[in-house]
Amino acid sequence: MKKSFLAFIRDQFTAIPPVPTADLTGLTVLVVGANTGLGLECTKHLARMKPGRLILACRSQQRGEAAIAQVKEETGYGAAELWLLDLAQFSSVIAFADRFEKDGGRLDIVVANAAIATEEYDTTSDGWETTLQVNNLSTDLLCLLLAPRLVETAKKNPSVKPRLVVVGSETHFWVDFPDEVYKAPNAFELISSKEFSVPRMGSRYMESKLLGTFFTQSLAELLKDTPVIVNTVNPGLCHSELLRDTTGVRALVTSLIKSILARSTECGSRQLVYAAVGGSDDPDRLRGAYLNLYGVEEPSDHTLGEDGKERRDKLWKDLIYVLTKVDGRVKDIVQEYSR
């Protein structure tokens, strides 16, 4: 599928239905990037459904505590927990997963929402281009390390179909990777390199969402024989803090477009909630799906067909190679569910 700017405008003026609801009594819900924007609004909606545990994964202690206070004030839910997580550091992701393994208990819903958008090339302490690590490598690592807990929850609770939601974007329609990425010894190492990145930083956020779409398809395929439902969802253009680091002419253009087209962050967050608890009449149709406006849509042509599958398989192979070097459990998890 291709998505034109006119189709994007049409979607932005389409009213978002009321937020879906579900009984989350006794369930454990995790929202990553829960202290601001879409993550915070999504967390509020889920808090109103009274989950047994609601974990806010945030980078900042101060902002996380402020979010918990806001959730309590606006929803009456007073049992939210703050767990620190910095996606710019693999060590933080591993520590988070280890903590969950030790005392997290069951896990029913994960909303992997955190993302950044920057036009400046920079690298993390782990040596990766920052947007690529935060939006993709660390997010993917977290999802993979938490997958066994989701599967185990379903085994112990046969009536439950856990959900793992990767927050995506329709911007993935507007970028492709050149063939050199798929012919490189390791696609992620090339994408992260300064030579490849610098000329493309203006579209790096969109590229990260394309990679996220591929990842969702691959993870859903890995977990296809389990009750866990993996999907990706487009919240649309919202009034959020995502583009706060944009500068210059791009910032002016973005500000103008948002003033005309952007929906409220609360409206956008309803789509995240739909991906997490909606579609209960036939949840299996959401497996590996790209969701928009409470429905399943075909993703970018770049991800489809035989060519799309070859690209996806190449990226998956290279991703697992990279993440296995970070944490050896990744290889074990992939092997376990590939049998």
Give catalytic residue positions.
205, 209
Alpha helices per DSSP H over 279-328? 305-326
What are the beta bridge partners of residue 53?
A: 28
| Residue 119 DSSP class | S
CA distance 110 to 112: 6
Residues near 120 by beta carbon (within 8 Å), at least 6 away in sequence = 201, 245
Exposure string over 241-266, b if 16+ CB within 10 A, otherwise e:
ebbeebeeeeeeeeeeeeeeebbebb
User: Is residue 57 within 8 Å of residue 66, measured between CB atoms?
Assistant: no
Token pair for 4: 């034109």
Token pair for 100: 């969950």
Backbone angles phi, psi at 69, to 5 degrees: -65, -40
User: Is residue 170 within 8 Å of residue 8, measured between CB atoms?
Assistant: yes
For 67, other C-beta atoms within 10 Å of its C-beta total: 23
Beta strands in the chain (DSSP E): 28-32, 53-58, 81-84, 109-112, 163-167, 229-233, 290-292, 295-297
Residues near 204 by beta carbon (within 8 Å), at least 6 away in sequence = 117, 118, 119, 129, 131, 132, 197
Residues in the chain: 339
User: Is residue 337 within 8 Å of residue 226, measured between CB atoms?
Assistant: yes
